[in-house]
């Protein structure tokens, strides 16, 4: 079993492994991608991929006809309302999943059954059951390349953090303090999107959008603002905390927390949303407390993390820095990370992983741990109690 200590020394080298794909691609072969979910994020990922060398967008799938029409103007690709047609298409080598979170598992399992590599948006899995289903499908498929959309895992900060940690100058880490604060102009709630007049049962496959969520009558507001509702979204913990967890879960090899407490509420935006806009999360790992605070009413604190060790601190925001603890390292020097992040690094890493038969920078097992941690937080909030993770049974108790 790999320990946190020996993992840190190798963090910058990547995770190599054998993968199985629907067909074998050479190192210089063109990769043809199918995009499932042609909304804002899906089209952004399509643009990133199309700008990578020797890559083609072969198909788009979406439940809303307007998005397919707009996607067709982005690239000369096939369009379809049913994502299964896209996955079955032999012209598609790999799949990008950018659907609402509650639909991730459904599309992922189908792609695995076709033995096609997948780039999947964060958080990877919506629930623990979904995470287990996805793991089973991934393993049965021979573990194709899976890149979870935590882009920070392909950043230069990963290398810098690994160097700081491996140097022994941080000491024993007992706490990670993280935060994520945003604000928006008056009248523009966080995550709000307008419902277009053409969002109707004739242009939206409502049943396909619902997937395994509870049955409801068609509602254009719920469709376009799905991030507001627990049926389809994990709220801020899945959208934002997951990114910050992924970075330190990768660089420090942290496991799923044994206990999680989340408190907060809807304090800022009284617009019918269900997920909180202000929250505090406390996650108990082995000899380490990871806390995360977030709100949508003030952006002054910004976004960042502080890794607190007995010998020093790693502070990460737009830059990553090391500060010695003067009480234990009076002669220690402050350091600043120098490793650059290349444009489109995360997507390029996924494409390279396909061609080189290796696992990407944010592989399935990392996405699994992060997803479960986020779901624990959401469950704590919904149940108004601390929830515990039974690692042996892989269940919430």
Any idea which fold 156-341+372-396 has? Answer: Dihydrodipicolinate Reductase; domain 2 (3.30.360)
pLDDT digits (tens, 9 = 90+) for 342-385: 999 999 999 999 999 999 999 999 999 999 999 999 999 999 99
pLDDT for 69 equals 96
In degrees, rounded to 5, the angle at the alpha carbon of residue 317 between the alpha carbons of residues 313 and 318 is 135
pLDDT digits (tens, 9 = 90+) for 237-252: 999 999 999 999 999 9
User: What is the three-state SS of the chain?
Assistant: CCCHHHHHCCHHHCCCCCCCCCCCCCCCCCEEEEEECCCHHHHHHHHHHHCCCCEEEEEEECCEHHHHHHHHHHCCCEEECCHHHHHHCCCCCEEEECCCHHHHHHHHHHHHHCCCCEEECCCCCCCHHHHHHHHHHHHHCCCCCEEECCHHHHCHHHHHHHHHHHCCCCCCEEEEEEEEECCCCCCCCCCCCCCCCCCCCCCECHHHHHCCCCCCCCCHHHHHCHHHCCCCCCHHHHHHHHHHHHHHHHHHCCCCCCEEEEEEECCCCCCCCCCCCEEEEEEEECCEEEEEEEECCCCCCCEEEEEEECCEEEEECCCEEEEECCCCCCCCCCEECCCCCCCCHHHHHHHHHHHHCCCCCCCHHHHHHHHHHHHHHHHHHHHCCCEEEECCCCEEC
Q: β-strand 278-285 against 288-295: which pairing, if any?
A: antiparallel
Give the mean pLDDT of 334-339. 97
Assess whether pLDDT exceeds 60 at residue 26: no
pLDDT digits (tens, 9 = 90+) for 252-293: 999 999 999 999 999 999 999 999 999 999 999 999 999 999
Q: Which residues lie below 8 Å from residue 393, measured CB to CB, with a gap of 6+?
A: none
Residue 16 in tokens = 């190599």
pLDDT for 25 equals 60
Assess whether pLDDT exceeds 50 at residue 16: no
Domain 13-153+345-363 carries which CATH code?
3.40.50.720
Dihedral pair phi/psi, residue 362, rounded to 5°: -120, 80
Q: Residue for token digits 């234990």?
A: 328
pLDDT for 256 equals 98
> CATH topology of 13-153+345-363 equal to that of 156-341+372-396?
no
Q: Residue for token digits 């523009």?
A: 188
Instruction: Give the start-to-end residue ranges of the domains of the chain.
Output: 13-153+345-363, 156-341+372-396
pLDDT digits (tens, 9 = 90+) for 177-218: 999 999 999 999 999 999 999 999 999 999 999 999 999 999
């Amino acid at each position: 079993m790999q320990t946190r200590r020996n993992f840190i020394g190798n963090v910058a080298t990547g995770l190599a492994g054998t993968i199985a794909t629907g067909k074998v691609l050479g190192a210089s072969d063109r990769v043809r991608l199918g995009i499932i979910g042609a909304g804002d994020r899906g089209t952004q990922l399509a643009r990133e991929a199309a700008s990578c060398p020797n890559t083609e967008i072969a198909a788009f799938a979406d439940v809303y006809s307007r998005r397919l029409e707009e996607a067709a103007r982005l690239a000369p690709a096939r369009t379809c309302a049913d994502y299964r047609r896209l996955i079955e298409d032999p012209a598609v080598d790999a799949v990008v999943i950018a659907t609402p979170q509650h639909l991730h598992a459904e599309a992922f399992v189908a792609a695995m059954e076709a033995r096609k590599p997948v780039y999947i948006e964060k958080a990877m899995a919506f629930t623990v059951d979904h995470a287990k289903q996805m793991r089973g499908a991934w393993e049965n498929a021979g573990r194709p390349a899976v890149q979870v959309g935590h882009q920070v895992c392909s950043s230069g900060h990963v290398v810098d953090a690994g160097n700081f940690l491996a140097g022994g100058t941080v000491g024993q880490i007992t706490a990670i303090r993280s935060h994520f604060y945003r604000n928006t102009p008056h009248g523009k709630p966080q995550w709000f999107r307008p419902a277009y007049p053409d969002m109707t049962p004739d242009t939206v496959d409502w049943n396909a959008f619902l997937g395994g969520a509870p049955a409801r009558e068609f509602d254009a507001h719920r469709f376009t603002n799905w991030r507001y509702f627990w049926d389809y979204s994990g709220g801020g913990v899945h959208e934002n905390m997951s990114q910050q967890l992924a970075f330190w879960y990768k660089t420090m090899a942290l496991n799923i927390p044994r206990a999680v407490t989340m408190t907060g509420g809807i304090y800022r935006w009284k617009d019918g949303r269900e997920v909180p806009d202000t929250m505090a999360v406390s996650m108990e790992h082995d000899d380490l407390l990871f806390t995360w605070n977030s709100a949508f009413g003030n952006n002054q604190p910004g976004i960042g993390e502080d890794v607190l060790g007995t010998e020093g601190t790693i502070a990460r925001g737009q830059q990553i820095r090391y500060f010695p603890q003067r009480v234990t390292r009076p002669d220690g020097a402050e350091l600043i990370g120098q490793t650059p992040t290349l444009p489109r690094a995360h997507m390029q890493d996924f494409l390279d992983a396909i061609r080189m038969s290796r696992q990407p920078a944010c592989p399935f097992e990392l996405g699994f741990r992060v997803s479960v941690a986020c779901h624990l937080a959401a469950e704590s909030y919904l149940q108004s109690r601390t929830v515990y993770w039974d690692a042996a049974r892989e269940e919430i108790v």
